[in-house]
């Protein structure tokens, strides 16, 4: 009996030891399972930095990985890939593949949803004014470089500007200001003017007024405030440049006043067309009376030239009474057609492609029409069409020949065309053949065209316009 009582503590100790070991083992297994789950989660949801922090190569690789994940077996993985592609923003549009026939219908639908969502963001961003923050003391060169960095607008001084001028100091205090407000502030302080014929496509070049008007003794003096009636609307700035009054002594009915306006746009975007209907112009004098335009049924327009970032408009009105010294307000609407985004189409190994193969993006359909040889010249045929939702069908005739087209050879070198000519023209379709002095069969054709064309009415009001 005594022996049994002696064995009881020993047996209890063994039970406690076994329970402790079992609990410890279970706890270890739980931790191990948790670690394994975390590893699986990390594999399914790899961390990635924001798009703005990635290099172009990193972004391209990330997009390729996510597009592959759109075909995963798990719906949750496909959903996560679609959501991340959308979160990367319009910057990835050039890296998105066009769905091939062999991928599933679900993958095609997801890729289409991603592209449509990003195209809408691209259009909204393209037609909205960019913003600038400039604070403190900086040189003219530094201020313009900062504007260029923050807005992606290629703004700079002309090449002939003296270095000592660029190093002049400015004191600026702008926070989240619209592009034109910021640029005008710099131009006013530095006494600069726009040099409309000094830049290339997508550029805005500035010139010191001392160079522009060397005979003007006041040209070099800074101007504290320039009282030019102006207004900003979206990417556009409108300002009054000149008022002309003409009295016809032989035929007084032909006497008139002309209000000359200058329309500029952010150089990162080139409008397709800009027109102003006189029926939308409302002019009020300083006594609150309305001034009528000469012909309310007329429409004024200008030809947008790639190298010139501005247009002149003239509004003819009746000859104003000399008692009226100021136009209190001039309100008008400019109807613009803008490219929401430039899409890139690539056709690889032209010699292996069947003529007629096409690609579609943002309402633009580009098809490869084949190649032809005439003596030592090869032509590559390209057809450009628009679906019924695209608003470019009314105005593509003038600007489409400015589109960029070139070949890329096997070494990756760019080969530009030596000429072009149209070969078909329909209501919503145009064919262009680009001429090259090399055989294009082993090359890739790259074609870029504005897509997601949008019509945008711009309403502006100019106040306190002084009359002659």
Per-residue pLDDT at 281: 95
Q: What is the distance, to the nearest Å, from the Cα of residue 66 to the centroid of all Cα atoms in its chain?
A: 25
Q: How many residues does the chain have?
A: 468
Query: Residue 139 pairs with which residues in a beta bridge?
Result: 169
CB 283 within 8 A of CB 329: yes
CB 386 within 8 A of CB 360: no
Q: Give the separation between CA 321 and CA 131, rounded to whole angstroms.
A: 42
Tokens matching residue 179: 């592009």
Mean pLDDT of 113-124: 81
Q: What is the dihedral of CA 209, 213, 219, 222, to 10 degrees?
A: -10
Residue 33's pLDDT band, with cuts at 50, 70 and 90, is: very low
DSSP 89-127: -GGGGGGPPPPPTTS-HHHHHHHHHHHHHHHHHHHHHHS
Residue 139's pLDDT band, with cuts at 50, 70 and 90, is: very high
Q: Give the separation between CA 166 and CA 362, rounded to whole angstroms.
A: 42
Per-residue pLDDT at 426: 62
pTM above the 0.75 mark? no
Tokens matching residue 96: 């998105």
Mean pLDDT of 276-297: 93
Residue 192's pLDDT band, with cuts at 50, 70 and 90, is: very high
Residue 428 has pLDDT above 70, yes or no: no
Residue 48 has pLDDT above 70, yes or no: no
Contact partners, residue 356, CB within 8 Å, separation at least 6? 367, 368, 369
| Angle of the 75-87 helix axis to the 105-126 helix axis, nearest 10 | 20
Q: Give the separation between CA 452 and CA 24, rounded to whole angstroms.
A: 63
Mean pLDDT of 71-79: 91
Per-residue pLDDT at 45: 43
What is the per-residue burial (b if ≥16 Cβ within 10 Å, else e) of 336-359? bbbbbbbbebebeebeeeeeeeeb
Per-residue pLDDT at 93: 82
Per-residue pLDDT at 363: 76
Least confident window among 52-61, 214-223, 423-432: 214-223
Nearest of 363, 369, 428 to residue 394 by alpha carbon = 428
- 308-341, pLDDT tens digit by residue? 899 999 999 988 888 899 999 999 999 998 887 7
Residue 230 has pLDDT above 50, yes or no: yes
CB 330 within 8 A of CB 282: yes
Q: Give the separation between CA 21 and CA 410, rounded to whole angstroms.
A: 67
Per-residue pLDDT at 51: 65
- 402-421, pLDDT tens digit by residue? 889 999 999 999 999 999 98
CB atoms within 10 A of CB 255: 14
Residue 14's pLDDT band, with cuts at 50, 70 and 90, is: very low
Least confident window among 121-135, 150-164, 254-268, 394-408: 394-408
Mean pLDDT of the chain: 82
Per-residue pLDDT at 97: 79
Mean pLDDT of 353-366: 87
Nearest of 390, 387, 373, 267 to residue 337 by alpha carbon = 390
- 233-273, pLDDT tens digit by residue? 889 999 999 999 898 898 888 888 999 999 999 999 888 88
């Amino acid at each position: 009996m005594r022996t049994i009582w002696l064995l009881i503590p020993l047996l209890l100790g063994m039970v406690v030891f076994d329970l402790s070991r079992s609990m410890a083992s279970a706890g270890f297994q739980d931790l191990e399972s948790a670690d394994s789950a975390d590893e699986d989660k990390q594999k399914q949801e790899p961390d990635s930095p924001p798009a703005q922090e990635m290099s172009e190569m990193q972004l391209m690789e990330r997009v390729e990985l996510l597009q592959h994940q759109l075909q995963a077996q798990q719906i949750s993985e496909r959903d996560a890939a679609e959501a991340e592609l959308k979160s990367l923003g319009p910057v990835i549009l050039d890296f998105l593949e066009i769905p091939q026939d062999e991928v599933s219908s679900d993958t095609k639908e997801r890729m289409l949803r991603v592209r449509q969502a990003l195209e809408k963001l691209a259009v909204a961003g393209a037609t909205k004014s960019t913003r600038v923050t400039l604070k403190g003391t900086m040189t003219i060169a530094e201020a313009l470089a900062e504007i260029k960095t923050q807005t992606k607008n290629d703004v700079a001084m002309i090449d002939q500007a003296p270095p000592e001028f660029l190093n002049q100091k400015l004191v600026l205090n702008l926070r989240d200001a619209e592009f034109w407000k910021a640029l005008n502030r710099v131009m006013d302080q530095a006494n600069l003017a726009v040099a409309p014929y000094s830049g290339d496509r997508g550029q805005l070049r500035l010139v010191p007024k001392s160079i522009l008007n060397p005979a003007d003794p006041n040209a070099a003096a800074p101007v504290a405030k320039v009282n030019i009636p102006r207004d900003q609307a979206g990417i556009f700035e409108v300002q009054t440049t000149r008022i002309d009054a003409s009295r016809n002594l032989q035929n007084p009915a032909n006497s008139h006043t002309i209000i000359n306006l200058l329309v500029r746009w952010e150089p990162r975007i080139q409008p397709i067309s800009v027109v102003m209907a006189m029926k939308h112009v409302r002019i009020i004098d300083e006594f609150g009376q309305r001034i009528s335009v000469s012909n309310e049924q007329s429409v004024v327009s200008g030809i947008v030239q790639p190298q010139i970032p501005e247009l002149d408009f003239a509004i003819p009105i009746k000859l104003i009474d000399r008692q009226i010294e100021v136009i209190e307000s001039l309100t008008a609407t400019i109807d613009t057609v803008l490219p929401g985004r430039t899409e890139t189409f690539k056709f690889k190994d032209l010699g292996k492609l069947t003529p007629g193969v096409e690609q579609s993006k943002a309402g633009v359909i580009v098809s490869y029409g084949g190649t032809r040889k005439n003596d030592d010249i090869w032509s590559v045929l390209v057809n450009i069409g628009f679906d019924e939702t695209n608003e470019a069908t009314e105005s593509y005739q003038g600007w489409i020949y400015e589109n960029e087209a070139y070949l890329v050879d096997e070494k990756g070198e760019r080969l530009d065309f030596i000429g072009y000519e149209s070969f078909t023209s329909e209501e919503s379709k145009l064919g262009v053949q680009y001429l090259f002095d090399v055989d294009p069969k082993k090359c890739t054709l790259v074609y870029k065209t504005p897509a997601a064309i949008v019509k945008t009415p711009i309403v502006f009001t100019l106040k306190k316009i002084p009359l002659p």
